[in-house]
């Protein structure tokens, strides 16, 4: 069986890229990732492009810019998990022997081009949305505000505990020149910031932004030819589940998906050295930390309080700042996670390096109830 190896990665700083089209941003990171892998555009046999709510196929725009070699290009819109889905499809195409060199790229410009689709007010989709809004369920922040309240009720958690996730992520991001928010924050600043959906203030929520990231995935044989560090995709698990039940059902989906990933990789939570997760809201790190098997349910708050999920702690989460501080332009986010993991496994992360990191877990959820867990290993 062929193994998929991540031979090259690249990303642009997340934030504002007003003067570039989505294709411009994508072309730049694709070239960057190829250069990192020691390959050129004509070597690419297949490309998946993660992008949300934009129909004018930026993936083909990238290939038009880089040269019309004729390769197949597929645009994937899986909400927040678009980039992760693109990475999975590229990895599986390589692992199945379909191609030797695949590119996964993700692009997003939330400042200019995302409108969440364009549903007419008269449509049944709009009516369903109105019913949810009447119930106070404004996705996504409404869900996570309710989940935060639920944990406060179930476990006696305090808002200061949730705020610590944002404080920790901003600290990690302060060492990441590609992060959208590189400022440090105190618990008091988080708690006293502008309210979005009670009890969540602004720093409990990830920022909007623009960005792009890409990964080049090659067969293990090709990786040997290139002399690439052997960072293999040892698990690619993908499950759908519910996003909207009263209980934190993404957490359940995360649990099931992680189990599948651990089985695929023949590893368990104790083997993981660092984690990148979907922490668009602070409560998410705490719930997923439990569901990924790093602590029991109800103990997530204590993990962040003890510094277990900080760099230098037992199992560092979101070493690049995560969605809360590195940013979340949707399409590229999952590939920024791969970028960070690969840099960490190569030992190239400078002041935010996790010492001796060999195995990284990458987690992403998306609206509609998709969850992906990848495990990357430096063999």
Which window, 166-174, 218-226, 240-248, 300-308, contacts a second copy (CB under 8 A)? 240-248
| Binding residue for a second copy, selected from 40, 42, 97, 136, defined by CB under 8 A | 97
| Binding residue for a second copy, selected from 4, 5, 21, 233, defined by CB under 8 A | 21
Tokens of 187: 């618990």
Nearest-angstrom CA–CA distance, 359 and 155: 31
Residue 5 vs 52, nearer CB to a second copy: 52
Nearest-angstrom CA–CA distance, 76 and 362: 19
Bin 299: left if φ > 0, else alpha if -120 < ψ < 50, else beta: alpha
Is residue 341 a contact point for a second copy (CB under 8 A)?
no
Is residue 254 a contact point for a second copy (CB under 8 A)?
no
SS3 190: helix
Side-chain-side CA neighbours of residue 324 (13 Å): 35
| Binding residue for a second copy, selected from 238, 281, 288, 317, defined by CB under 8 A | 238
Residue 81 vs 325, nearer CB to a second copy: 81
Is residue 362 a contact point for a second copy (CB under 8 A)?
no
SS3 363: strand
Nearest-angstrom CA–CA distance, 58 and 78: 15
Residue 300 vs 369, nearer CB to a second copy: 369
Is residue 130 a contact point for a second copy (CB under 8 A)?
no
> In a 10 Å sphere around its CB, with 0-12 CB exposed, 13-18 middle and 19+ buried, how is residue 26 labelled?
buried
Shortest distance, position 60 Cβ to a second copy, whole Å: 3
Pairing of strands 73-76, 4-11: unpaired
The DSSP H or E segment spanning 361 is: strand 359-366
Q: Are 39 and 368 in contact (CB under 8 A)?
A: no
Which window, 66-74, 264-272, 280-288, 353-361, contacts a second copy (CB under 8 A)? 66-74
Among residues 46, 25, 39, 156, which one has the least CA distance to residue 102?
A: 46
Is residue 268 a contact point for a second copy (CB under 8 A)?
no
Residue 40 vs 350, nearer CB to a second copy: 40
| Binding residue for a second copy, selected from 15, 31, 38, 113, defined by CB under 8 A | 113
Is residue 350 a contact point for a second copy (CB under 8 A)?
no
By CB under 8 A, name the binding residues for a second copy: 18-22, 24, 51-57, 59-61, 63-64, 68-79, 85, 89, 92-93, 96-98, 109, 112-120, 122-125, 128, 238-242, 253, 256, 366-370
């Amino acid at each position: 069986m062929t193994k998929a190896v991540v031979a090259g990665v690249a990303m642009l700083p997340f934030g504002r890229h007003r003067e570039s089209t989505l294709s411009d941003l994508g072309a730049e990171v694709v070239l960057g990732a190829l250069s990192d892998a020691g390959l050129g555009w004509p070597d690419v046999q297949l490309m998946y492009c993660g992008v949300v709510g934009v129909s004018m196929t930026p993936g083909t725009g990238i290939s038009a810019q880089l040269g019309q070699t004729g390769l197949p290009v597929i645009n994937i819109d899986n909400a927040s998990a678009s980039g992760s889905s693109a990475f999975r499809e590229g990895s599986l195409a390589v692992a199945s022997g379909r191609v030797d060199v695949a590119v996964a790229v993700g692009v997003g410009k939330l400042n200019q081009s995302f409108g969440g689709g364009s549903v007419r007010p008269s449509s049944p989709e709009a009516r369903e949305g109105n019913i949810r809004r009447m119930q106070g369920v404004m996705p996504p922040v409404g869900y996570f505000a309710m989940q935060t309240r639920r944990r406060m009720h179930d476990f006696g958690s305090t808002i200061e505990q949730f705020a610590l996730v944002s404080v920790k992520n901003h600290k990690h991001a302060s060492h990441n020149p590609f992060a959208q928010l590189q400022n440090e924050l105190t618990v008091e600043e988080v708690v006293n910031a502008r309210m979005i959906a009670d009890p969540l203030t602004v720093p409990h929520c990830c920022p909007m932004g623009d960005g792009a990231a890409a990964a080049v995935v090659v067969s293990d044989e090709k990786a040997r030819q290139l002399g690439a560090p052997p960072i293999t995709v040892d698990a690619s698990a993908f499950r759908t589940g519910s996003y909207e039940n009263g209980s934190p059902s993404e957490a359940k989906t995360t649990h099931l998906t992680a189990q599948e990933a651990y089985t695929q990789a023949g590893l368990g939570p104790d083997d993981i050295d660092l984690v990148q997760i979907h922490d668009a809201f602070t409560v998410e790190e705490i719930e997923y930390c439990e569901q990924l098997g790093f602590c029991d349910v109800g103990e997530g708050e204590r993990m962040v309080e003890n510094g277990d999920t900080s760099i230098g702690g037992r199992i560092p989460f979101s070493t690049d700042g995560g969605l809360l501080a590195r940013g979340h332009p949707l399409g590229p986010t999952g590939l920024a996670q791969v970028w960070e993991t690969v840099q960490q496994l190569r030992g190239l992360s400078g002041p935010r390096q996790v010492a001796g990191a060999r195995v990284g877990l990458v987690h992403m959820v998306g609206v509609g109830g998709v969850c992906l867990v990848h495990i990357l290993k430096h063999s």
